[in-house]
Structure 1
Amino acid sequence: MLEFMPLILFAAICIVLMFGFPVALSLAGTALLFAGMGLGLEAIGIDANFDSGYLAALPNRLYGIMTNQTLLAVPLFVLMGVLLEKSKVAETLLDAMALLFGSMRGGLGISVTLVGMLMAASTGIVGATVVTMGLMSLPTMLKRGYSTSLATGTICATGTLGQIIPPSIALVLLGDVLSSAYQQAQLDMGIFSPKTVSVGDLFMGALVPGLILVVMYMIYVGLVAFFRPSMAPAADREELMAELGHTSGLGILLLKGLVPPVVLIVAVLGSILSGFATPTEASAVGAFGALVLALAYRQLDWATLKDVLRSTTHVTTMVFLILIGAALFSLVFRAYGGEHMVTELFESMPGGVIGATIIVMLVIFLLGFILDFIEITFVVVPIVGPILLAMGLDPIWLGIMIAINLQTSFLTPPFGFALFYLRGVAPPSVPTSAIYRGVVPFILMQLGMLLLLTFFPQLATWLPTQF
């Protein structure tokens, strides 16, 4: 029984989280409980195979979290995203795209996809993107005769692009964890001057797969509109303009809605890709740019600013509390010999590194039903990451595979988070079954992207090598 304590610890964490307890407290509390059990059993002379020396590393681990320059990008990117959401930049952008493409069959769906991509590149928050797009675009699409399943599926799928299109908060957190895992893997292999993998590398690696997914979505919407016009009919531009309440011309609306956020995204991503700024420095540029845009749109007053700062503080403290809880969990898991157990399991698995990678991807996909990407990033990746990387996997490729896998789990019924976000803001006339049906083609496209990356890893690794 005691030799299975690492598995029991992991199962206990999942059970506690499923009961709805706060994530950070669940991780830390359960880990402390199991640590106390281990120390207690050792004290009364029962060999629990618990190495208490791991706990001595906790103060240094916590200090490293609080002084980590990479993680400083998290509150700044969150601030940037919340500012853009509150300043109604997305609303103006969606109106401009709808007027530009709405007069063609499937045009509203294509405009939603493009705006979702730009919002993903500016906010990086899945929930905010899905809710915003659901409130703004779903009523218009349904009123214009779009199929309920196509409209809801498109909104959910484009909302999850925030997981993969940089600058993504998920990639920032994943990059920090993978860098530590990569260093640990090299030390385990006897390399005492280990290389690192930066968040900028992950950003560059995610760019091509993210854009391919966007193109896949648009092609799908276009094919549906071509073969089944009744599911995605064209809209009259004049009627649409009157409905949206815009009296100015399309050119002025595009200039106002499209240019500012695109300039901001180019400034943030361009500075990272060119090597001019680190992701942390670029996040500061993005936050300042979002503040300027909010002022320019005259959407920033003291009440809004307080709301923005409160939201940013809430998300940031949540992330860092989870980090602390995950660090404690990781140390207790290793103290019970969990890392050796997982290593032996992977080494004995048929198929070698391929079999181990398939199993890990399947486990992450299933855990995505019940856990958020933050918990999976800080609980699962530190356990399996060093082992897979020591088996020879490319860290950038592995990071992008995990990110797209988590993106897919956001969409998968019945527990996909994106489905819950949209269900919360969709009209009562939209059945939940229609939302579930609508996301199925997009799930298949994302699984197809995983297969493409499996057979063509250069899609993720080529761009980082060029820079």
Structure 2
Amino acid sequence: MIGIVMFFTALFMLIIGFPVAFTFAAVSVFFGIAAGFIEIFSNAGEGELFMDLLSQGWLEGISMFEFMPFRIFSIQQSTILMAIPMFIFMGIVLQKTGLAEKLLESMGFLFGEIRGGVAISTVLVGTLLAASTGVVGASVVAMGVISLPVMMKYKYNTPMACGTICASGTLGQIIPPSIVLIILGDVFQVPVGDLFAAAVWPGLALVGAYILYILILSFANKNMAPAIPSDPNRGSKKKQVFRALIDIIPSLTLIILVLGSIFAGVATPTESAAVGCIGAIALALMYKTFTINMVKEAALESVKVTSMVFGILIGATAFSMVFSYTGGEEIVEHAMLSLPGDEKWGFVIFTMLAILVLGFFIDFIEISYIIVPILIPVAETLGINPVWFAILIAMNLQTSFLTPPFGFSLFYLKGCAPAGVTTGQIYKGVVPFIAIQIIVLFIVAFYPEFFGMSADM
């Protein structure tokens, strides 16, 4: 039971706000040494000296970490994880080019004349940003600064406007190139390209569901998202379409270069990430926003985020090692296989509910590196397709960005929203989009063949 106690201790410390990487590392060392003492004292014979037992217990606990340097070295050699800093760099550079502003302005005028048009354009721009940058914070802030004031000006329902922006900004978690999918590819030890290809249709289904919800809401209640009057200063409709295409084509070109090279088998995700970095620099030059200082800032920010991810990964590696050595995996596997009903679907439903609830309190990186490795052996025993299971987890983790009280998208939007927009309105606005995500997750889970996947190996 040491592993189970260790798990809940780490979870409690994360919830009350301790730093993630240090929590994993400290809890692992404490419980690893404690396990050594328990092992020695439980097997001690009569007449053994207490101080000798203490010395043996200490050595037993410390010996558990002898292979940690090799584990850390293998992490550093991972070619999959090399893609993370490059995709982060690409996203930050594109954020600084003003790509989001150009897309939102053009798409807003293009769709603004229909009910819910600005909200629909926000979802479409969020999709393009997800497929080209994948940086949730940048997407939410950009759309919050540009799109939200426009929607409020034309009397859009404030909760609906806030929910649309938050949900659209999180599309970067499921639509490739997604950092979540790269991390899950490393955890599941499956090709990231397979996860990227499998995530496209579920991601687009989510986009379609968002747009359908906005249209239904807009036409059911004309005051929720009224149409914007046409602006004669923008020229004819043909000119507006042409201008929108000019703004969209560069980002589409980058998406084709990055994702197309992966899907065509021309490049690995790591190689395509390098192509994406070059493409982002090219767009910065094209938009005349390129400076050496901008590249320096993007590189420093990429190093910070990557260091955080790798710090968490090293702590999580120690945690999973101690959890496994102390018998935690066997207890979890036995509990999961003992769930009522069909073993496979009981396991899938239970894990999805558990990840959804945990997403209310802890970040997707902690869930990916602590919860998921515990579940993988059980999934393999049940013959579950790892690609399908990883996509379900990725869609579930996307929800963690929206769920109160700690959803990151909610804080990003609150930080840049105009005065008068309350936290309560943001919370109220995201609830329907959380429900939509759960519905789409349900469809992907029970009808994977619609998305070109299989639930079985």
Q: Tell me whether the two structures share a fold, i.e. TM-score over 0.5.
A: yes
- AA in 2 matched with 1:13: A
Counterpart AA for 1:443: I
Q: Is the 8 A contact 2:173 2:179 kept in 1?
A: yes
1:89-104 paired onto structure 2 within 5 Å: 89-104=99-114
2:331 & 2:452 partners in 1: Cα distance? 31
Mapped partners of 1:401, 1:74: distance in 2: 21
1-side partners of 2:96 and 2:225: how far apart? 30
Shift of 1:311: 0.8
Q: Which residues of 2 match residues 135-150 of structure 1 at below 5 A?
A: 135-150=145-160
Aligned to 2:270: 280
Alpha carbons 2:34, 2:61 under 8 Å: kept = no
Give 1:208-219 correspondences, 5 Å limit: 208-219=201-212
Decide whether the 8 Å contact of 2:187 with 2:369 is kept in 1: yes
Are the equivalent residues in 2 in contact too, given 1:109–1:154 (CA < 8 A)?
A: yes
Residue in 2 aligned with 1:437?
Answer: 428
Alignment-derived partner of residue 325 in structure 2:
335
Long gaps (5+) in structure 2: 45-56
> Is the counterpart of residue 367 in structure 1 residue 323 in structure 2?
no
SS at match of 1:71: coil
Classify 1:126/1:435 alpha carbon distance in 2 versus 1 (closer, same or farther; 3 Å): same
User: Deviation digits for residues 260-313 of structure 1, max 9, x if unmatched?
Assistant: 011101111111111111111111111110011011111121322221111111
CA contact 1:82–1:308 (8 Å) conserved in 2: yes
Sort the Cα spacing of 1:11 and 1:414 in 2 relative to 1 into closer, same or farther, 3 A. Answer: same
Once residues 106 and 241 of structure 1 are traced to their aligned partners in structure 2, the CA distance between those partners, rounded to angstroms, is: 20
Offset at residue 251 of structure 1 (A):
4.8
Q: Aligned in 2, Cα 1:406/1:89: closer, same or farther, shift over 3 Å? A: same
Number of matched pairs: 439
Q: CA 1:109–1:63 in 2, change beyond 3 Å: closer, same or farther?
A: same
User: TM-score, with normalisation over the residues of structure 1?
Assistant: 0.89
Write out aligned runs for 1:26-175 (5 A): 26-44=23-41, 55-175=65-185
* Aligned residue number for residue 6 of structure 2: 9
SS at 2:82's partner residue?
Answer: helix
Partner deviation per Cα, 1:313-368 (whole Å, 9 max, x = no partner): 11111111111111010001111110111111112221212112211111111111
What is the Cα deviation at residue 45 of structure 1? 5.3
C-alpha offsets along residues 187-231 of structure 1, whole Å, 9 cap, x if unaligned?
xxxxxxxxxx21111111111010011011111111122121111
Give the structure 2 partner of residue 425 of structure 1. Answer: 416
- Closer/same/farther in 2, CA of residues 435 and 332 from structure 1, 3 Å limit: same
**2: distance between equivalents of 1:365 and 1:288?**
37
| CA distance in 1 between partners of 2:140 and 2:376 (Å) | 30
- Answer yes or no: is the 8 Å Cα contact 1:209–1:459 preserved in 2: no
Partner of 2:50: none
Partner of 1:379: 370
RMSD (Å), alpha carbons: 2.2
User: Are residue 178 (structure 1) and residue 155 (structure 2) matched?
Assistant: no
- Output the amino acid matched with 1:207: V
Say whether the 8 Å CA contact 2:110–2:241 is kept in structure 1.
no
Q: 2-side partners of 1:131 and 1:345: how far apart? A: 42
Give the corresponding residue for 2:51. none
Return the alpha-carbon distance in structure 2 between the equivalents of residues 464 and 383 of structure 1: 19
CA shift, 1:93, in A, is: 1.0
**Deviation sequence 1:66-122 (CA, Å, 0-9, x none):** 000011100010011001101111111111111111122111011000000011111
**Whole-angstrom CA distance in 1 between matches of 2:76 and 2:286:** 34
SS of alignment partner, residue 380 of structure 1: helix
| Counterpart contact for 2:151–2:161, Cα < 8 Å | yes
Whether contact under 8 Å (1:24, 1:325) holds in the other structure is yes
The 2-side partners of 1:128 and 1:464 are apart by: 34
TM-score normalised per structure 2? 0.91
| Separation (CA, whole Å) in 2 of partners of 1:51 and 1:205 | 42
TM-superposed CA distance for 1:26, in Å, is: 1.2
Is 1:220 the counterpart of 2:217 in the alignment? no
Partner secondary structure for residue 375 of structure 2: helix
Structure whose alpha-carbon radius of gyration is higher: 2
Aligned to 1:402: 393
Matches within 5 A, 1:225-244: 225-238=218-231
Using the alignment, how far apart are the partners of 1:36 and 1:198 within structure 2?
36
For 2:455 and 2:301, how far apart are their aligned partners in 1?
33
Q: 1:412 aligns with which of 381, 398, 403?
A: 403
